[in-house]
């Protein structure tokens, strides 16, 4: 019986031709999957002649031009002295922070601005248990059993006593199986309100009057946040422990295999250039965030984060300058 080419295969044919696969290569794959050569040839010829395909080709060309412009901007940025690392400054002034980094979409690590924060001296496992041990908090569990744990995080939520979770973190060793993240903030801000008072906004860069009071991240060594980009500028304040961070400029998005919303298929913990060869052309910048340091994560920059120790991090988005760019973002679907 002749195997018919359905709409799913037609989509596959069009997508691969738009990605510059040769008609001969597409023929070969179709024949390997049991389609008759003449049917495959007719389908490909019809695709190439279709006005819908020609319209898609025009849109592809527009996207390629944008990618080229971004690549030029990225190459110019990489020519700047120190572009292969995240710059570090002690007590960077507000004007310098905004002019040199925020407005220029460049990451920076700042020390000395978070030292007076009460959380730096108060927060510990014992303090957490004493202060909020009976609070009911939300945590993500089962991350090791789900390859797409970040995308599927709504289904991994569990409510438990904060004191029990602190015990778990303290005793666990290195694991990514459970983690309290910004995605759990809606419940935890209320449950852990007593801790929020210990970590006020960094007034030099952030608006203390903003209702956005930050996000609490707490987990054992080995917790990971896979490569993704945010829809806002972010400030990471490392309170306890160290974190290893890989950063990729937004200008290299074309190399990050962005298949859905803000997520990448590339595993930052084991970058596979054979499976994802284009990632080799991305400018990957590595840094380690120490306790007391701030890391400015510019909007659109891809980042992978891995805890080297049991760690606590606060992140903030309530900058003194405009940070509402996500309002015009609409690409939440498959890409």
Question: Are residues 113 and 227 both part of a single domain?
Answer: yes
Is 75 part of any domain? no
Contact 189, 228 (CB under 8 A): no
Distance CA 120, CA 290 (A): 12
Domain range enclosing 61: 7-70
Q: What is the mean pLDDT of residues 57-69?
A: 96
Please spell the DSSP secondary structure of 51-98, one letter per residue: HHHHHHHHHHHHHHHHHHHHHHHHHHHHTSTTTTS-EEEES--HHHHI
222-235: per-residue pLDDT in tens? 999 999 999 999 99
DSSP 290: P
Is 162 part of any domain? yes
Question: Are residues 19 and 123 both part of a single domain?
Answer: no
Question: Are residues 304 and 263 both part of a single domain?
Answer: yes
Is 160 part of any domain? yes
Is 2 part of any domain? no
Question: Are residues 230 and 319 both part of a single domain?
Answer: yes
Assess whether pLDDT exceeds 70 at residue 210.
Answer: yes
Question: Are residues 188 and 54 both part of a single domain?
Answer: no
DSSP 319: B
Question: Are residues 64 and 93 both part of a single domain?
Answer: no
CATH code at position 127: 2.60.120.650
Residue with the two structure tokens 């025009």: 58
Percentage of the chain exceeding pLDDT 90: 96
Is 226 part of any domain? yes
Question: Are residues 138 and 27 both part of a single domain?
Answer: no
- CA distances for 140 relative to 44, 56, 148, 226, 311, angstroms: 46, 40, 13, 15, 16
Angle at 9 between CA 26 and CA 146, to 5 degrees: 105
Is 1 part of any domain? no
Is 219 part of any domain? yes
Question: Are residues 146 and 220 both part of a single domain?
Answer: yes
Residue 4 tokens, joined: 């018919």
Question: Are residues 199 and 243 both part of a single domain?
Answer: yes
Assess whether pLDDT exceeds 90 at residue 322.
Answer: yes
* Domain endpoint, select from 70, 95, 122: 70
Distance CA 31, CA 38 (A): 10
Centroid of chain to Cα 94:
26
Distance CA 27, CA 38 (A): 9
Question: Are residues 165 and 262 both part of a single domain?
Answer: yes
120-167: per-residue pLDDT in tens? 999 999 999 999 999 999 999 999 999 999 999 999 999 999 999 999
- Domain tally, the chain: 2
Distance CA 75, CA 4 (A): 47
Distance CA 139, CA 185 (A): 10
Assess whether pLDDT exceeds 80 at residue 2.
Answer: no
Question: Are residues 252 and 316 both part of a single domain?
Answer: yes
Is 207 part of any domain? yes
Question: Are residues 119 and 183 both part of a single domain?
Answer: yes
Reported pTM = 0.94
* 200 Cβ contact list (under 8 Å, min separation 6): 117, 208
DSSP 172: H
């Amino acid at each position: 019986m002749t195997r018919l080419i359905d709409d799913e295969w037609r989509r596959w044919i069009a997508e691969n031709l738009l990605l510059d696969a040769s008609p001969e290569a597409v023929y070969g794959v179709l024949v390997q999957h049991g389609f008759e050569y003449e049917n495959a040839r007719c389908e490909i010829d019809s695709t190439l002649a279709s006005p819908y395909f020609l319209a898609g080709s025009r849109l592809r060309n527009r996207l390629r031009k944008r990618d080229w412009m971004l690549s030029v901007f990225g190459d110019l940025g990489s020519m700047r002295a120190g572009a292969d690392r995240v710059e570090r400054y002690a007590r960077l002034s507000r004007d310098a922070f905004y002019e040199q980094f925020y407005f220029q979409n460049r990451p920076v690590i700042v020390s000395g601005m978070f030292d007076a924060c009460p959380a730096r001296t108060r927060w510990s496992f014992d303090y957490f248990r004493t202060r909020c041990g009976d609070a009911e908090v939300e945590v993500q569990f089962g991350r090791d059993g789900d390859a797409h744990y970040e995308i599927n995080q709504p289904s991994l939520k569990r409510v438990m006593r904060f004191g029990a979770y602190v015990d778990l973190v303290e005793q666990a060793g290195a694991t990514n199986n459970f983690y309290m993240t910004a995605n759990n903030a809606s419940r935890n801000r209320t449950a852990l309100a007593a801790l929020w008072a210990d970590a006020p906004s960094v007034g030099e860069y952030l608006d203390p009057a903003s209702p956005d009071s930050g996000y609490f991240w707490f987990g054992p060594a080995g917790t990971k946040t896979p490569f993704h980009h945010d829809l806002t500028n972010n400030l990471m304040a490392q309170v306890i422990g160290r974190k290893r961070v890989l950063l990729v400029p937004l200008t290299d998005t074309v190399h990050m295999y962005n298949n859905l919303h803000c997520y990448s298929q590339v595993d930052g913990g084991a970058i596979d250039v054979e499976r994802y060869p284009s990632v080799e052309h991305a400018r990957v910048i590595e840094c380690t965030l120490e306790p007391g340091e701030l890391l400015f994560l510019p909007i659109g920059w891809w980042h992978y984060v891995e805890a080297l120790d049991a760690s606590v991090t606060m992140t903030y988005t309530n900058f003194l300058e405009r940070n509402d760019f996500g309002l015009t973002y609409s690409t939440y679907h498959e890409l």
